[in-house]
Amino acid sequence: MTGRRKPERMDLADAAEALAGARRLVVFTGAGMSAESGVPTFRDALTGLWERFDPQALATPEAFRADPALVWGWYEWRRAAVGRAEPNPGHRAVAALAARVPDTVVVTQNVDDLHERAGSAATVHLHGSLLTPRCSACAEPAPAPGAGAEPGEGRRLEPPRCGHCAAPVRPGVVWFGEALPEPAFAAAVEAAYRCDVLLTVGTSGLVYPAAEIPQVAARRGGTVIQVNPEETPLDAVCAVNLHGPAARVLPALVRAAWGDPAGA
């Protein structure tokens, strides 16, 4: 017998009331949040010369060992694209939420720094960051390349060498087949376990174990609010499903909860 689907209440006022009363808030974001700033999602088709490659084939330890210059070049192209993007009103609204609810933890699956640039401090990055490369052998942190290092589309770029062991430096992201960073995942689970409201934004709910985070909050009795243009597997565990873009819905939530234009 299948479980009964939880009824939806697609009501901005309900979500705003829950947020205004939150004491411990988690904001959990996925690729859809950054896509609204022009950052392609990982499932988007590649463009230009990169159309020759499958992103899921490039994002593996095996691909880096086989052709480090190809993989490093692709990630540097991605990092440069993220650097040209700007936080959108959704990112700024998340920072405004954190200002209103001091015990707020922002957990993201994105590997960019758009939350930080919008004003969200100490963001938990479940999938690492394009801005934190590290040695592929000893895991020693390495400085991000400076300006002028970006390759053209589809171009190879030799990775720098580790200053400690001379092994190639790799992107500081989680690749397919790798475990999430344990401290980040533990912090996200703990925050979800103790929160009274979790706001999930722009995530498909398909990528595990990250997709488990909203479900942890729901099982503990937290109010889960989802903002996404499309239906997702998380709809069934959410108390409120708001179908729309984060850049429009999140500022509206801030205004409805506190009558505050911040994030608009």
Q: Which positions are catalytic?
A: 127
- Among 66, 60, 69, smallest CA distance to 156 is for 69
To the question of whether residue 110 is assigned a binding role by annotation, the answer is yes
To the question of whether residue 238 is assigned a binding role by annotation, the answer is no
Alpha-carbon distance 162 to 168, whole Å? 6
Q: Which two tokens stand for residue 250?
A: 């999140």
To the question of whether residue 229 is assigned a binding role by annotation, the answer is yes
Q: Which two tokens stand for residue 70?
A: 């190809």
To the question of whether residue 241 is assigned a binding role by annotation, the answer is no
Q: Which two tokens stand for residue 1?
A: 């017998």
Q: Within 13 A of 144's CA, how many CA atoms are on the CB side? A: 16
To the question of whether residue 100 is assigned a binding role by annotation, the answer is no
Alpha-carbon distance 165 to 195, whole Å? 42
Amino acid identity, residue 226? Answer: Q
To the question of whether residue 246 is assigned a binding role by annotation, the answer is yes
To the question of whether residue 4 is assigned a binding role by annotation, the answer is no
To the question of whether residue 56 is assigned a binding role by annotation, the answer is no
Alpha-carbon distance 111 to 242, whole Å? 25
To the question of whether residue 88 is assigned a binding role by annotation, the answer is no
Alpha-carbon distance 198 to 18, whole Å? 10
To the question of whether residue 165 is assigned a binding role by annotation, the answer is yes
To the question of whether residue 107 is assigned a binding role by annotation, the answer is no
The bridge status of strand 25-29 relative to strand 197-201 is parallel
Alpha-carbon distance 130 to 258, whole Å? 34
Q: Residues within the annotated binding site for substrate?
A: 75, 78
Q: Residues within the annotated binding site?
A: 75, 78, 109-112, 135, 138, 162, 165, 202-204, 228-230, 246
Q: Residues within the annotated binding site for Zn(2+)?
A: 135, 138, 162, 165
